[in-house]
Amino acid sequence: MKYRVILAASAALGILATEASAASLPAIKNSSSNTVPACATPGRLMAFAQARNSRIANSFDGTATEYMRHGEKLKIRWDYAFFQMLVETANLSFVGDVKPSQNNFAGLGATGGGVPGERFDSVSDGVKAHLQHVLMYSGEHIDDPVAERTRKVQEWGVLTKWQNGIKGPMTFAQLTRQWSPKDRGYARDIAAVADSFYSKFCNGPDPRPELVAEARGNRGVAVDAAAVTPPTPDSTQKGKKIAERAIADARATTGPDRFGLGAGSFGATMPSVDKPASSSPPASFTILNGGTDTVASAPQGEIKTASAAGAVASAGADTLAQSAGTAGPAASTAKSAAATAKSGCRVWQASYGGQKAVIIQAVNDGQTNYTVLDVNEGREQREVAAYIAAYAKDGKSVGEFQTSNKALSKAFELCPEG
């Protein structure tokens, strides 16, 4: 009982911390006290995005550079617009109504129900359209906007009454309430992405510092190669070692009672959702208990579509797109191995970017697959249902955990190596 009380208290504190972060999202416009931190560079931001989605198309390699380029010209907090873009596009995987070829990074004009929204000729145009739309929310009039959606909202005065009721500088937190009014988790999603970047990636070396000069119009600047070489992950790391490390981390953070699951915390079943197949590319996964090092794809036969199932945020005054909670997951980078022959079970890992984790069990061609899926607080059911619809037909949730490490520890109890 004491252990469960501690867990409940920790979860409550986590929710409060996330809510506080969401409430403190910065003002849209730059000021002397509201500037983009120097560590938020295109190189670090793209490395961060790729860590969340290893299958980002090469055509989007310059996305963060364009956010810095146009964001500095418009004098807004383009870093938070970039984080919003990751939420809107499910980490540049484009798994909802908007397709990659549209270069529509904010779902402009995509109001759900299969409406794809606007199309822009280039990544640069799409980024500029997003940033102009964000700036418009702050009350700035946009002359000759790139997006038709921005022009209409301005001409029709859709936001005027709401904007007049805002006291002080318009913040991203206020923007989210009107951008997607029925999605209470939207601000939390953006805050969680921002917290993840600034707590983990901002302190590391910039793998491509030359992109800062490129964003400011200085191409071809010579760079010290030694200064831009990113840390290289241990490509020889085997699934067994990854599992051992995850379990060791779980022990260190939760103590010896970490397997003492309370009644009702194991065996809960989430509803499965049927979704027709699409041309969306399947995400890569990490097999955490395998053999020789090769890149692994999702279990054969389970991939249907990365499209989200379930609720789409209802249109408000200017609802623009589905948020990450209604989009398919960006799966982990595949660094561990796939066994050449099938065994009785496998452990996989995928993520929607949240802090909590759910274990999903699915049987495919005689093999039982356990996926540790990172989910967002308050959106667990939708994200689990979307994942099952896309990747694990007839699957079910068999446990919910406060961290990925705890979930991984349990997954390897259910599917021990050898």
Last residue of a domain, one of 228, 251, 266: 228
Interval 77-98: pLDDT, tens: 999 999 999 999 999 999 888 9
More confident residue, 266 or 79: 79
pLDDT over 60 at 390, yes or no = yes
Residue 267 lies in a domain: yes
Interval 272-284: pLDDT, tens: 333 333 333 333 3
Last residue of a domain, one of 228, 252, 282: 228
Burial class (CB in 10 A: 0-12, 13-18, 19+), 124: middle
Tell me, yes or no, whether 221 and 266 share the same domain: no
Question: Could you tell me which of 314, 375, 325 has the C-alpha nearest to residue 187?
Answer: 325
At residue 170, the pLDDT reads 96
Tell me, yes or no, whether 202 and 244 share the same domain: no
Residue 234 lies in a domain: no
SS3 letters across 378-391: CCHHHHHHHHHHHH
Question: Could you tell me which of 352, 353, 348 has the C-alpha nearest to residue 336?
Answer: 348
Residue 291 lies in a domain: yes
Tokens of 309: 């199932």
Tokens of 134: 């964000």
Tell me, yes or no, whether 149 and 7 share the same domain: yes
Report d(CA 195, CA 398) in Å as an integer. Answer: 29
Report d(CA 72, CA 369) in Å as an integer. Answer: 46
Cα distances (angstroms) measured from residue 403 to each of 9, 118, 201, 349: 14, 38, 20, 13
At residue 245, the pLDDT reads 57
Mean pLDDT calculated for residue range 4-21: 42
More confident residue, 75 or 382: 75
What amino acid is encoded at 396 in this protein? K
Q: How many domains does the chain have?
A: 2
Tell me, yes or no, whether 217 and 249 share the same domain: no
Report d(CA 154, CA 160) in Å as an integer. Answer: 8
Report d(CA 399, CA 163) in Å as an integer. Answer: 44
Interval 315-374: pLDDT, tens: 333 433 333 334 445 444 333 333 333 458 888 888 887 778 899 999 988 889 989 888
- 28-37, 379-388, 407-416: which is most confident: 28-37
Confidence grade of residue 124 (pLDDT, cut at 50, 70, 90) = very high
At residue 340, the pLDDT reads 34
Burial class (CB in 10 A: 0-12, 13-18, 19+), 227: exposed
Residue 148 lies in a domain: yes
Last residue of a domain, one of 228, 252, 278: 228
At residue 105, the pLDDT reads 97
Tell me, yes or no, whether 149 and 245 share the same domain: no
Interval 28-78: pLDDT, tens: 999 999 999 999 999 999 999 999 999 999 999 999 999 999 999 999 999
At residue 106, the pLDDT reads 95
At residue 185, the pLDDT reads 87
Tell me, yes or no, whether 332 and 244 share the same domain: yes
Percent of the chain with pLDDT over 70: 64
At residue 248, the pLDDT reads 55
Confidence grade of residue 6 (pLDDT, cut at 50, 70, 90) = very low
More confident residue, 85 or 377: 85
Alpha helices in 61-147, H assignment, sequence order: 63-74, 78-88, 123-137
Tell me, yes or no, whether 281 and 402 share the same domain: yes
Residue 141 lies in a domain: yes
pLDDT over 80 at 240, yes or no = no
At residue 389, the pLDDT reads 79
Interval 154-206: pLDDT, tens: 999 999 999 999 999 999 999 999 998 877 789 999 999 999 999 989 988 99
Tell me, yes or no, whether 167 and 271 share the same domain: no
What amino acid is encoded at 197 in this protein? F
Report d(CA 254, CA 236) in Å as an integer. Answer: 28
The DSSP line for 328-393 is: PPEEPP--S---SS--SEEEEEEE-S-SEEEEEEEEETTEEEEEEEEE-TT-HHHHHHHHHHHH-T
CB-facing half-sphere around the CA of 115: CA atoms within 13 A: 17
Between 93-102, 120-129, 393-402, the lowest mean confidence (pLDDT) is in: 393-402
At residue 269, the pLDDT reads 31
Sheet holding 396-401, edge to edge: 330-331, 345-351, 367-375, 356-364, 396-401
Tell me, yes or no, whether 301 and 268 share the same domain: yes
Domain around 216: 2-228
